[in-house]
Structure 1
Amino acid sequence: MFETFFGAEKISLHSLESIEQGVPNIIVWAAPFMFFFVLLEYFISRWQNKKLYSRSETIGSTLVGLGNVAIGLVLKMFLLWIFIAIYNLIPWRMPFHWWTFIPCYILFDFCSYWAHNVSHRLRFFWATHVAHHTGEHYNLTVSFRLSWVQYFKIIFFLPVAFLGFHPIILFVTNQVAVLFQFWVHTEYIKKMPRIIEYIFATPSNHRVHHGSQEKYINKNYGATFIIWDRIFGTFQEETERPIYGITHNIDHKHDPIHINFHEYYDIIRDVKQADGWREVLFYIFGNPSDIDTYKRRKNGLLPITEEKKTEH
């Protein structure tokens, strides 16, 4: 039975195009429903005179989201080729069964936790994620702010592929995981029943992650399951309304190019001003909080004895 289940036939790369056509574009299908709920939230917030939306940020979020979907569609064939190549390489290939989606999703979310964690602690990866945190208003459109260069982080998810899950299962898992994160970007859903708050990354738990207060920074990385944060000590309960945005908020809030690449501009500027290779590597791969503290101290803006502040 073990050999039968883990001995699925290899997938011919000659059938790549037909397999690609068979992979559902769940996010594209869900787009009309997502825009419906965005409009619903927008009009309710206007009716209640709540300032949850900013015109420039909404334009920026929408353009970033559309660009991300387009890039995903372009890269779909290439990513599928990678997953099939890995699938053919290992001997413990699982056949396509719908229920393998469940363990795949749990393991994928575990890898997502670490990808998210590292993306806040290494500047190279922070540059692929910061776009998501640049919104100073928290609403459903923030879920559209997914970096155009986030696909670098595929390396964090390769272990799931090497476990032998079918490539189509992997693709469906990724899309469902992205879609799950849509509904958590709202202030209209308050705290949910305790058992749900304990297990899942609810709107309350994820609002903490977007908060710029010191106690909220670098907390609640879980994408679907908040249990990883509880296990690894990065959980923080929502105890006060978060102040959204990043430590140094950006200008040009409507510009998708600036939203996606402003951190790279800063990295290039810092590297040009670096004193030696050690500082160059620090500016590229250092912890954003340490880099921010170091630069302010170097420029005489931070006393030596002042406790460092953490970059969001």
Structure 2
Amino acid sequence: MNVQQLEQDLPPILLYAVPILILALLIEWLIIRIHPEKDYDGADFRASLGIGIGSLIINALLKSFMLALGIFFYELTPWRIPPTWWSWLVALVVIDFCNYLAHYTAHKQRVWWATHVTHHSSEHLNLSTAFRNSWTQHLKIIFFIPAWLTGVHPVIAFSCYQLDLLYQFWIHTEVIGRLPRWFEFIFVTPSHHRVHHGSNDAYLDKNFGSMLIVWDRLFGTFQEETETPKYGLTKPVESQNVVYLNFHEWRDIWHDLRKTRSLKGAVKVLFGPPV
């Protein structure tokens, strides 16, 4: 198997979904226009859009590398899971769990937080917030190595990765309320994700799931939506400039590293909790 063949066989699920995403944005915008206190903020929306466009460009540039990395680990695996309906289920569950671990770690260790803080920089929550994917987020690819080592065919694994990413779009909204209890018990919903984006004390470091909320329930990181979330960082950002939003934490880490005088201090700066 080679990268060119995988690129040909891999369905561009995210590309196919673009018209749906645009339509959903338009519908949400029309709905919230009747609630001026929740209207789209122009500067915030432009920042989200700019970050999203930058992410798309970086994704395109790194696509071949990511596929080659997946093939490399797949070829290391001495077993194969046949391409059946349940292999899709296996891949989706494993990838979603890898996403949970990556997301959890990104909130606990500063170097990984630098790859994720951009996503939490908005003081609003709407579908455009989903576009705020850090330009350095691909450093977290190491968390997905277990998915490639399952023996699931890379076309299935990467397709499920796209599906898991696409699922996260619709949960960034305030226009959808609570959903049926059975659904909220298993899947991540807008209510769950509003909690995750909240900077309220009760909401900090909660609800890390991407598609399945069961991981949070199992590992004690689940929190119901019990109060109105206050969105954004505990230390608000100073600018809506897209370069600043992507790299201000990396800048601060670099400044702190320059002040350290020991390896232990450098490790603490990189892998200690975000400040």
Give the CA deviation at 1:263.
0.5
Partner of 2:203: 216
How far apart, CA to CA, are the structure 1 residues paired with 2:248 and 2:58? 19
Verify the 8 A CA contact 1:52 1:139 in the aligned structure 2.
no
Out of 243, 250, 265, the residue aligned to residue 251 of structure 2 is: 265
**Is the aligned partner of 1:278 residue 2:264?**
yes
Asked whether the equivalents of residues 199 and 233 of structure 2 are also in contact (C-alpha less than 8 Å), the reply is: yes
- In the other structure, the counterpart of 1:18 is 5
The equivalences for 1:15-94 within 5 A come to 16-94=3-81
Write the letter of the residue equivalent to 2:254. Answer: I
| Contact persistence 1:52–1:138 (CA under 8 A) | no
Aligned pairs, how many? 275
Indicate the residue corresponding to 2:165 in structure 1. 178
Q: Provide the residue aligned with 1:232 in structure 2.
A: 219
Who is 2:102 aligned against? 115
Partner of 1:146: 133
* TM score, norm. by length of structure 1: 0.84
Per the TM alignment, residue 98 of structure 1 is displaced from its structure 2 partner at its CA by 4.5
Q: How far apart in 2 are the matches of 1:29 and 1:251?
A: 36
Give the secondary-structure state (helix, strand or coil) at the position aligned to 2:36. Answer: coil
**Residue aligning to 1:287:** 273
Residue in 2 that maps onto 1:166? 153
Identity %: 43
State the TM-score, normalized to the length of structure 2: 0.95
Residues 4-33 of structure 1: CA deviation (Å, up to 9, x unaligned): xxxxxxx2x3xx313212212211221222
Q: What is the CA distance between 1:275 and its match in structure 2?
A: 4.7
**Does the 8 Å CA contact 1:52/1:137 hold for their aligned counterparts?**
no
Q: Structure 1 residue 244 and structure 2 residue 244: aligned?
A: no
Contact 2:32 2:175 in 1 (8 A): no
What is the match of residue 113 of structure 2?
126
Q: Counterpart of 2:78 in 1: which secondary structure? A: coil
Whether the 8 Å contact between 1:131 and 1:147 is mirrored in structure 2 is yes
Preserved contact between residue 195 and residue 224 of structure 2 (Cα < 8 Å): yes
Alpha-carbon distance in structure 1 between the residues aligned to 2:260 and 2:72 = 41
Q: Distance in 2 between matches of 1:149 and 1:25?
A: 22
